[in-house]
Amino acid sequence: MADIDALTSSAYSQALEVIASVEPRIADATRKELADQRGSLKLIASENYASPAVLLTMGTWFSDKYAEGTVGHRFYAGCQNVDTVEALAAEHARELFGAEYAYAQPHSGIDANLVAFWSILAHRVEGPWLEKAGSKNINELTDADWESLRHELGNQRLLGMSLDAGGHLTHGFRPNISGKMFHQQQYGTDPETGLLDYDAVAAKAREFKPLILVAGYSAYPRRVNFAKMREIADEVGATLMVDMAHFAGLVAGKVFTGDEDPVPHAHVVTTTTHKSLRGPRGGMVLATEEYASSVDRGCPMVLGGPLSHVMAAKAVALAEARQPSFQAYAQKVADNAKSLAEGFLKRDARLVTGGTDNHLVLLDVSGFGLTGRQAESALLDAGVVTNRNSIPSDPNGAWYTSGIRLGTPALTTRGFGHDEFDQVAELIVHVLQNTQPGTTKAGGPSKASYALGDGIADKVKDASAEMLDKHPLYPGLVLS
């Protein structure tokens, strides 16, 4: 991460002074958050560090503007500057990913997925239904017609990756709205290897015949052949939707190309703009021209007013990702994930699928006699920030889990390399080996309580501090 100059440092200090003049506790919490991030090993796969330019872009008067609609077609007056911002964000996204169409309005990854789902429903179900009914406008339908259309929209099929296999909540998990919107089924991974079995996915698709086949993941440590997924979708007449929120940075950085790049193969692609893409918190939809007009209706179909200040920050982050330096960064993210995986494996820790070839590893902590929740908590005590995560056929379910997920994007941004990630693996194993599960009040085994050995947390924090000091976060930034 490049040094922050005096001007930028002064800008942040003065901003905090302005905030403190109104609510000093918020200014204090902001300073504390920077200190915490500087002093911990951040290994959450969905987090990163945005550049000062991206962060500063969000704190402008674009925040004050309503702009429902699309570029050049707003429901509010005075949106000419918002039009410029949104058009630039979409332009950078199209150029960066080679997409035919880009939609920068979604507020989050879940919002992007909702836009995608309803856009596909509008294109595949509503449009043909209206044509068959002899109407071009949904507002012209009789009550009986509308009830019939609602029935059609609400009874479509979705096939997505199961949560314990590495999929996301929004890929048809029943407690999530995606599992309530659709008649859904899920595909998993091979029980022996933990890898995707494309023949099994194809067989499931032939049997279920979904309208939407969802590919992509939040905790699958391998690459996906999207050309094969498109073949499966085409065979059963499904729309292929890919959620690349986690690995978008590896696509942008040309680590994933050819069959592993979802954009040339999917009808619709969704993503967040933070995580491995290193931008602001937000979402985005990419699509072929066939789906563009449906996606363009995201607001007000699903979304509220677009966050113009965040779209501006998306444009800045996407411009950064178009620089050659970002490709070098993305490759280091993948290389560092391999180093982290190798560090675990040589210390006899078990990884789901036996390794990684993307930006994350999934560590099975049951071999340490722990649940994911116990491991996550003990590591946090030692200054190592991770998140618990289900593993395939997880006996502890989605709350306690049997795994922890670790990603390399954030520490790679700080400049960590092979040797540091090997040491990170050593520290994590050391913590887990010295953590004992607790007991419940009834004396039985607990899935939540734990006991970390005396002095372990301080020892790990000291070792971490040596690495972190060599790779400071936002170097040159001094807050008064």
Active centre residues (catalytic): 66, 68, 243, 272, 275, 281
Rounded Cα distance between 393 and 286, Å, is 33
DSSP state of 206: H
254-275: buried (b, 16+ CB within 10 Å) or exposed (e) per residue? Answer: ebbeebbbbbbbbbbbbbbbbb
Residue at token pair 């970390």: 452
Cβ–Cβ under 8 Å, residues 170 and 110: yes
Of the candidates 357, 393, 395, the one whose C-alpha atom is nearest the C-alpha of residue 189 is 393
Q: Are strands 239-243 and 212-216 parallel, antiparallel or unpaired?
A: parallel
Rounded Cα distance between 58 and 284, Å, is 17
Kindly write down the DSSP assignment for every residue of 29-83, as one continuous string: HHHHHHHHHHTSEE--TT-----HHHHHHTSSGGGG----EETTEESSS--HHHH
SS3 at position 108: coil
Kindly write down the DSSP assignment for every residue of 117-148, as one continuous string: HHHHHIIIIIHHHHHHHT-S-GGG--HHHHHH
Look at the alpha carbons of 191, 196, 198, 200 in this order and tell me if their dihedral is positive or negative.
Answer: positive
SS3 at position 415: coil
DSSP state of 3: P
**Cα-based distances in Å from 42 to 85, 108, 384:** 31, 21, 6
Identity of the residue numbered 50: A
How many other C-beta atoms are found inside a 10 Å radius of the C-beta of residue 60?
12
Rounded Cα distance between 205 and 184, Å, is 11
Rounded Cα distance between 420 and 426, Å, is 10
Cβ–Cβ under 8 Å, residues 210 and 157: yes
Cβ–Cβ under 8 Å, residues 355 and 436: no
SS3 at position 271: strand
Identity of the residue numbered 33: E
